[in-house]
Structure 1
Amino acid sequence: MEDKKALIYYCAKELFSAKGFKDTNISEITKKAGMAVGTFYNYYPSKEKLFMDIFLEENTKLKQTCFHSLDLNQIPLMVVKQMLILNVKGMKANPILKEWYNKSVFEKLEQVYLEENGVNSVDFLYDNFLELITQWQAQGKMRKDIDSKMIMMIFAAIINIDTHKEEIGLEYFPELLENMTELIMESLMNCSK
């Protein structure tokens, strides 16, 4: 049974990569997998759930790759800037992760996924980075008066601002993101607080 689920998963991943979420349907996925449409529903309740499972796995892989290529000997500001740059490049280079920027599609996907899986199911693997923040706090490189998990939420907010660049104004966005990141990081690195 796991072989069929894996086959559906990999066929869907190929189709989502080639055609995007909106232009891929369940019948195409099952046809590519050589099985009936009804078989799909034995493993996945919806196309959205399948896509989000693939998206989360791809996002986890990207975050791990980014993290492992960071120069952790730099000051926290430079590490975070480097992580943001690598993350944005990786998101835009991966056709599945690129759907993140298609606001109308991704809002619906996320809503359906959360309804099916619960709020705690979307964790984009920040464990390594959380450990790094805790380490920086212990070394006196980052404020200790803010919980490390709250600092992770601040970083998540910085990453998520990318989905609002049209509202902010494309002509201001790259500079705004850089200035905002720098101001936040300078505050977080102000260990006298």
Structure 2
Amino acid sequence: MEDTKADIFNCAKELFSTKGYKDTNISDITKKVGIGTGTFYKYYASKDELFLEIYLKENEELKKSIMKSVKLDGDPIKIVQEIIANNLDGMRSNPILKEWYNRDLFSKLEKEFYKLGGIKRINELMNGSLMEIIKAWKAQGKLRDDIDDDMILAIFSSIPYIDIHKEELGIQYFPRILEYLEEFIMKGLTDCRQK
């Protein structure tokens, strides 16, 4: 049974990558896997659910890759800028992750994203790495020590929420709004004279 689910996942990932979300339908996936539509529905309630499972996996892999590549011995502002830039580049270059910026698809995906606990999964993935970075930077005197570690983590964790609400804020401002916010946040957190 797990093999069938993995086959569905892998074939759908390939189809979504080549044809896009909109032009891939369940019958394309079932034909590629060699199963009936009823079998598909034993594993996934909808194409949306399957797509977001793939999306979340791709996003997790991107985040892990970024965090492994980060060198923590530099300027925190530059490091955070690098993390954000690498994330945006990764999102734009991956055809599955790029769908997040598809205006026609976004509102539909956002509902499913919350339902599947997407933001929680991303936060859990990032929070361990970020807390280590926060503690290291504080120990080195690179971050303000008058702000609790958990509060700094909450500030960092708020950035993806802003991305999720790009439609309400105005999609025409993205990704520049994220770049400015990350700059303003990091300047405030690294100004150790504000104690």
- Which TM-score tier does this pair reach, normalised by the shorter chain? 0.7 to 0.9
Q: Matches of residues 1-193 of structure 1 in structure 2 within 5 Å? A: 1-115=1-115, 117-118=116-117, 121-123=120-122, 125-126=125-126, 127-144=128-145, 145-146=147-148, 147-157=151-161, 160=163, 163=166, 167=170, 169=172, 174=176, 177-191=178-192, 192-193=194-195
Measure, in 2, the Cα distance between the counterparts of 1:29 and 1:56: 19
Measure, in 2, the Cα distance between the counterparts of 1:101 and 1:180: 19
Q: CA deviation at 1:156?
A: 2.6
RMSD of aligned C-alpha atoms?
A: 2.7
User: Sequence identity, in percent?
Assistant: 45
Q: Give the gaps of 5 or more residues in structure 1.
A: none
Q: CA deviation at 1:67?
A: 1.5
Q: CA deviation at 1:129?
A: 2.4
Name the structure with the higher helix share.
2
Aligned residues: 189
Is the CA contact (8 Å cut-off) linking 2:63 and 2:87 kept in structure 1?
yes
Measure, in 2, the Cα distance between the counterparts of 1:107 and 1:168: 12
Measure, in 1, the Cα distance between the counterparts of 2:93 and 2:68: 18
Q: CA deviation at 1:189?
A: 1.0
Q: Give the gaps of 5 or more residues in structure 2.
A: none
CA displacement, residues 42-100 of structure 1 (integer Å, 9 cap, x when unaligned): 11111111111110110111111111222211111010011111111111110000011
Q: Normalised by the size of structure 2, how large is the TM-score?
A: 0.83
Moved >6 Å (runs of 4+): none
- Distance change (3 Å), C-alpha of 1:29 and 1:168: closer
Measure, in 1, the Cα distance between the counterparts of 2:118 and 2:63: 20
